Structures are given as structure tokens and as C-alpha cells.
Chain A
């Protein structure tokens, strides 16, 4: 059946409508998970709050396992799904920059908007900085262009690189994620014991 639009189940004109609905749902879940608080978000780096890790790992394993089942029961054809092309070194560098910004600013791009939505000033300034950064990067793009497009591996997946079937990765990631849930729970307890006050 799926993917819905490429297979013509619903018309191509619906993509923006679907995007808005998904965006609303995404924002709701971010806010409901407490992601509009930069203390919550940065907590993962200081060890007193791992809600970020839990939410994202949960989303990841549920989506991954769910898609495999959907593929099996015929609701979604996984071979037709768009896979983002991989640029190895630029992605590593980008990830590092993003992580540093995350620790410094206390938000990642998506959560800064949920922060604005509930009226947080720090989120507002984070977003202004975000746009300044985008603007600056666009102007300086010719400088980075060679690096930006280097190491193109195409639309590859882990299965294609390793030759292992997808369920192996699903199980491996699930085990790692569940172990992380339990592990971080104890780290959290220990770190919080030493904190004089903890509020959000």
C-alpha cells in the first residue's frame, strides 16, 4: 500500500497538508516530553536527566520495529522509501558542531521552536542565532562547497554495507537502547543524590 503518495493512494497535492499535521504532532510530542526546557535537554550531558536519550531511543526503536512489521503485513514497501544520501566526513563534522551547539545553547533546532511556543526567552534568542547561522553559512557556502559534497556514499543503508538483514540491526539497536534506559536510570539517581536542588 505505502508509501502513500508515490504509490498514488492519495494525491500529490496532499503532501503539505500531511506535513502540517505531522509537524503539529511532532511539536506536541516534543513539548509533552518536556523538551521545551533547556535544563531537561542539557541534562543528558551532565548526567542528571536522560529524558532526551530515552525519548529519542524509544522513538527510534518503535519506528524501526514498527516499519519492519508494516513492511511484512503489506502496509508499506520499505524498498520504495527515500533514503537520505550519506556524506561521511561532512556528516561527522556536522554532528560535532550540532552537539557543541546543543550543549552551549541548551536546545536543538526543533526543540527551540517548542520553547518559543511556550514563551521562553532563551529559546527565542537561540532561534535568532539559528537563523543568523543559516544566513552566514549560505553566504560562505562557496568556501565549504568542496567539503560539503565530499565523501558521497549515495543512498546507502547499513544492510547494503554490511550485507546483514534489517531485523539483526533492529534487535541490536533495541537491546542497546533498553540497556541504555536501565543504565541511565542508575546514573541519574546517583548524580541527583549529590545535587542540592533540582528543579525544572
Chain B
């Protein structure tokens, strides 16, 4: 017998160290702030179904009655927020979204079953944060269509926007093919101001499928 074979204790010590290291690893494992709760497929499906939007005409009720079940969050930065915002909205700048305090508040609101409406200057600004929170399991967060710009423009008569479709995104506002058709020779047409705002009417059926 060789000396190296008569010493299984060495192996045992080495293995114990190995196990201890693994245990330390598990104990010190950083708990991630967020975890994806929607898979990629679920996220895409939710987007295609056009779920979880908040319509401008719904604001009428929120502003007038200030229900406890809905909180408005303005994700623009503090300065712009100070210059004007939807009445009753709280400021939650995009850059501070991951702050522990804000997360705590969002989580508390979620647990209380309160709906959160995010809005930015336009829909685009709030789109990213909104998508992010939907994907990490904040299912109570909605996105205000049209954003602050649309609200500001229709501030006086929000309820009538129920029939408007200008705040919907994802629809062509022009007949692209016709506009961009080759203009033989007439490269510079003099009429500068013709901007045909021929909004294509969306069909009722395409609302659900087209989203927003």
C-alpha cells in the first residue's frame, strides 16, 4: 500500500472544503431585484393582444373622483413634471425607477391591488418602462395612450376623445405607397403645404388585433 492510498482523510477534508465553498455560494447568492415572470412568447402575445392600456377618456373619471384604486405616475423628469402634469399624478422619473424606495412603493401598490398608470411626454417615452414592469410581474401597470401631449391637447374635453382615434399608435396615417410613388420629372413640386392628414379609419375588427 502506498502512503497516498492510506490517507482517505485528505480526500475527505478536500471534499468537505468543496462542499463548504458551495454552501457559501448558495448562502451569498445575490437575490435579483427583478425576475422575468413573463416568457418572451407571453410578452409578445400580450403586446399583440393590446392588453393593459389606459385610454385618455378614462382620465376624466380619475381626475374628477380621484379613486383610490388608480394611481398616476409621471415618468418624465422632475423639472418637466413641475412645469405641468396631469392633476393627481405623482412624479417617478425614469432614472429613479430602480430605486429601492420606489420599488417598495410599486410593490406595495401591487399588493394592495391598485392599478398604476404610467405616462410620459408621449406614449413612446413610457413604453419601455411599462413593458419592463409588465415583464417582471407588475401586472397592475398600465400605459396611458397618447401620453401627456395628447392629454394636454384635449384637456378641456377628455371624455369626447372616446370617439377619437388620433392617440392610437401602430396605424399608418398616410397612404405610403401613393405618397412615395415615383414622381416622373416633377422632382420639386411647388405646393409645400399639402400635408394630407388623411387618417386611415381603423376598422372595428382590427382594433383588438392591431393593438393600441
Q: Which residues from chain A sit less than 8 Å from chain B, CB to CB?
A: 32-34, 40, 49, 51, 58, 62, 66, 69-70, 73-75, 200
Contacts and interface: CB of A to CB of B under 8 A. Distances in A.
B5 to A, nearest CB: 7
Given A66-B18, A73-B25, A51 B2 contact: yes
- 8 closest A-B pairs by beta carbon, nearest first, are A73-B25, A73-B29, A34-B4, A69-B22, A73-B26, A74-B29, A74-B30, A75-B25
A75 B18 CA distance: 15
Contacts, number: 27
A69 B28 CA distance: 13
Contacts of B26: 73
Nearest to B10: A32
Contact of A33 (B4, B21, B22, B28): B4
Interface of B: 2, 4-5, 11, 15, 18, 21-22, 25-26, 28-30
B25 A69 contact: yes
Given A74-B29, A74-B30, A66 B22 contact: yes
A30 to B, nearest CB: 12
Contacts of A40: 2
A200 B2 CA distance: 8
A70 B2 contact: no
A131 to B, nearest CB: 29
A42 to B, nearest CB: 14
A62 B16 CA distance: 12
Contacts of A74: 29-30
Contact of A51 (B4, B18, B25): B4
Contacts of B5: 51
B174 to A, nearest CB: 45
Given A73-B26, A75-B25, 7 more contacts: A32-B4, A51-B5, A69-B22, A73-B22, A73-B28, A74-B29, A200-B2
Contacts of B2: 34, 40, 49, 51, 200
A32 B5 CA distance: 11
A70 B4 contact: no
B189 to A, nearest CB: 56
A66 B29 CA distance: 15
A74 B18 CA distance: 16
A51 B21 CA distance: 26
A111 to B, nearest CB: 14
A70 B30 CA distance: 13
B4 A62 contact: no
B38 to A, nearest CB: 22
A51 B11 CA distance: 13
A93 to B, nearest CB: 33
Contacts of A51: 2, 4-5
A33 B15 CA distance: 16
A58 B8 CA distance: 13
A40 B26 CA distance: 38
Contacts of B18: 62, 66
B14 to A, nearest CB: 8
Nearest to B15: A62
A93 B80 CA distance: 71
26 contacts: A32-B4, A33-B4, A34-B2, A34-B4, A40-B2, A49-B2, A51-B2, A51-B4, A51-B5, A58-B11, A62-B15, A62-B18, A66-B18, A66-B21, A66-B22, A69-B22, A69-B25, A73-B22, A73-B25, A73-B26, A73-B28, A73-B29, A74-B29, A74-B30, A75-B25, A200-B2
